[in-house]
């Protein structure tokens, strides 16, 4: 049964609107996923939905109606109908689709990221990747490449920011993503798990396709301007680069992630 909220001053509406800011996402342990595609993906992944907020106009459209009915059939999801005016005030997108959900953040450990038994572990580590679009695209690419998970170090983009969530195109709900580790914590955990650290950098490095990915590995991607922290470069088992043929000084970090990850996919396909 859906409830109708008609006032933007309603306490619940204010709490939902506050989730657009990181400090409230951190404080409440919640985040927003907006748009039909993302709501469908979190439902497909069985990610528990706390609240679904939608407009009557959205509910009249076929795809939105179908996912609203799916969520309504669950016992744990609170269904809230609002006017388009109220929805637009809490929306974080330029062209609101009239449907969003409130979700609980999930916490993962290194051990959980390595649980899959059907493949050699392959992790992606983000060290200071600050652009939310890049971070989300890398998570999406890691999912497509069949990675075990993504580790987002302190100082990187918030994976639960609206732009990051949208850039994942739903992969956030299917791939374990661990956040807020320090470089020292990462090094200790991966070394204990016998994971090979492969850092992307230009100095004293090998061409990426010369690396051997047929082993448990973590590919470390650095800040768009500064690269990987010296601490991680010192701890890396190997440093990799992607040759640049033209005049460009560098590749976008999300593009670099795709190039290297699919070399790992290619090598592992021959096992």
What is the pLDDT averaged over residues 142-160?
97
Calculate the average pLDDT of the chain: 94
Q: Are 78 and 151 members of one domain?
A: no
Q: Are 125 and 259 members of one domain?
A: yes
Strand ranges inside the chain, DSSP E: 3-5, 30-34, 49-55, 78-82, 99-104, 122-127, 149-153, 177-181, 196-200, 206-207, 217-222, 238-241
Contact 70, 43 (CB under 8 A): yes
Among the listed residues 130, 92, 124, 139, the one whose alpha carbon sits nearest the alpha carbon of residue 217: 124
- The number of domains in the chain is 2
Contact 100, 39 (CB under 8 A): yes
pLDDT of 31 higher than 90? yes
Reported confidence tier of residue 186, pLDDT bands at 50, 70, 90: very high
Predicted local distance difference test score (pLDDT) of residue 250: 86
**Token pair listed for 53:** 């907020």
Tens of pLDDT, residues 75-93: 889 999 999 999 999 999 9
Reported confidence tier of residue 141, pLDDT bands at 50, 70, 90: very high
Contact 200, 161 (CB under 8 A): no
Q: Tell me, what CATH number does 20's domain have?
A: 3.30.1330.30
Q: Are 8 and 137 members of one domain?
A: no
Reported confidence tier of residue 219, pLDDT bands at 50, 70, 90: very high
Q: Are 95 and 76 members of one domain?
A: yes
Q: Are 231 and 188 members of one domain?
A: yes
**Token pair listed for 233:** 């470069």
Q: What pTM was computed for the model? A: 0.94
CA 222 – CA 220 distance, rounded (Å): 7
* Residue bearing tokens 């290619």: 266
What residues make up the domain containing 38? 3-104
- End-to-end, the C-alpha distance of the chain in Å comes to 52
């Amino acid at each position: 049964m859906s409830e109708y909220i008609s006032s933007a001053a309603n306490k619940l509406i204010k709490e939902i609107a506050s989730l657009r800011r990181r400090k409230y996402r951190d404080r409440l342990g919640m985040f927003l996923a907006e748009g039909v595609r993302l709501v469908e993906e979190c439902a497909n992944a069985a990610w528990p939905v706390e609240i679904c907020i939608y407009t009557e106009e959205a509910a009249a459209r076929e795809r939105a109606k179908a996912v609203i009915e799916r969520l309504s059939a669950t016992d744990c999801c609170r269904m809230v109908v609002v006017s388009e005016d109220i929805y637009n005030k809490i929306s974080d997108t330029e062209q609101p689709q009239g449907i969003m959900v409130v979700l609980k953040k999930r916490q993962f450990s290194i051990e959980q990221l390595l649980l899959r038994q059907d493949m050699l572990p392959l992790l992606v580590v983000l060290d200071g990747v600050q652009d939310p679009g890049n971070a989300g695209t890398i998570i999406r690419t890691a999912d497509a490449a069949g990675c075990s998970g993504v580790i987002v170090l302190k100082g990187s983009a918030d994976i639960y920011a609206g732009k990051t969530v949208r850039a994942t195109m739903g992969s956030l709900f299917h791939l374990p993503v661990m956040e807020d580790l320090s470089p020292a914590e990462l090094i200790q955990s991966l070394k204990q798990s016998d994971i090979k650290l492969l850092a992307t950098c230009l100095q004293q490095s090998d061409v990426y396709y010369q690396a051997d990915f047929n082993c448990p590995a973590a590919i470390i991607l650095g800040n768009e301007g500064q690269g990987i922290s010296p601490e991680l470069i010192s701890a890396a088992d190997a440093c990799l680069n992607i040759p640049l043929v033209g005049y460009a000084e560098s590749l976008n970090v999300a593009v670099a992630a795709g190039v290297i990850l699919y070399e790992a996919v290619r090598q592992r396909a021959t096992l």
